Structure 1
Amino acid sequence: MSTPQGPTLRELAVQALSSIERGYDLLAPKFDLTPYRTPDRVLDAVTRALRPLGPFDSGLDVCCGTGAGVSVLRQVCGERVTGVDFSAGMLAVGRSALAGQDGPAAGPAVGWVRADALALPFARAFDVALSLGAFGHFLPRERPALFAQVYASLRPGGRFVFPVGAPPPVGSKAYWSFLGFDGAMRVRNALWRPTFVMYYRTFPLRDVLDDLAGAGFTAGLLPLPELGSRPDGSPRARLVVAGRES
Structure 2
Amino acid sequence: MFTPEGPSFRELAVQALSSVEHGYDLLAPKFDHTPFRTPEVILDATATVLAGLGPFGRGLDLCCGTGAGLDVLGRVCQERITGVDISAGMLEVAARAHPEADLLRGDVRALPLGAEYDLAVSFGAFGHFLPKERPGLYAQAYAVLRPGGRFAFPVVAPARPGTPGHLALLGFDAAMRIRNALWRPPFVMYYRGFGLADVRRELATAGFSVELYALEELGRRPDGSPRARLVVATK
**Aligned mate of 1:221, from 212, 215, 223:** 212
Q: Which residue of 2 aligns with 1:106?
A: none
**Aligned mate of 1:158, from 146, 149, 163:** 149
In the TM superposition, residue 93 of structure 1 has moved relative to its aligned partner by 0.3
AA aligned to 2:7 is P
C-alpha separation in 2, matches of 1:165 and 1:65? 19
Deviations 1:163-217 (A, max 9, x none): 0011111100100000110010000000000000001102111111111011111
Q: Which residue of 1 aligns with 2:116?
A: 125
Contact kept? 2:25, 2:88, Cα under 8 Å: yes
C-alpha separation in 1, matches of 2:60 and 2:193? 24
Q: Which residue of 2 aligns with 1:179?
A: 170
Contact kept? 1:18, 1:196, Cα under 8 Å: yes
1:175 match: secondary structure: helix
Contact kept? 2:113, 2:144, Cα under 8 Å: yes
Q: Which residue of 1 aligns with 2:102?
A: 111
Residues 52-131 of structure 1 correspond to what in structure 2 (within 5 A)? 52-99=52-99, 102=100, 110-131=101-122
In the TM superposition, residue 5 of structure 1 has moved relative to its aligned partner by 1.0
Contact kept? 1:139, 1:202, Cα under 8 Å: no
C-alpha separation in 2, matches of 1:166 and 1:200? 12
Q: Which residue of 1 aligns with 2:196?
A: 205
AA aligned to 1:87 is S
Contact kept? 2:215, 2:226, Cα under 8 Å: yes
Structure 2 unaligned blocks of 5 or more: none
Contact kept? 2:67, 2:98, Cα under 8 Å: no
Q: Which residue of 1 aligns with 2:47?
A: 47
C-alpha separation in 1, matches of 2:73 and 2:193? 26
Deviations 1:71-124 (A, max 9, x none): 00000000110000010000000001224xx3xxxxxxx100001010011111
C-alpha separation in 2, matches of 1:6 and 1:160? 31
- With the length of structure 1 as denominator, give the TM-score of the two structures: 0.94
C-alpha separation in 1, matches of 2:79 and 2:203? 27
- Superposed CA RMSD in Å reads 0.7
- In the alignment, does 2:142 pair up with 1:142? no
Q: Which residue of 1 aligns with 2:19?
A: 19
- With the length of structure 2 as denominator, give the TM-score of the two structures: 0.99
Flag as ranges the 4+ runs of structure 1 deviating above 2 A: none
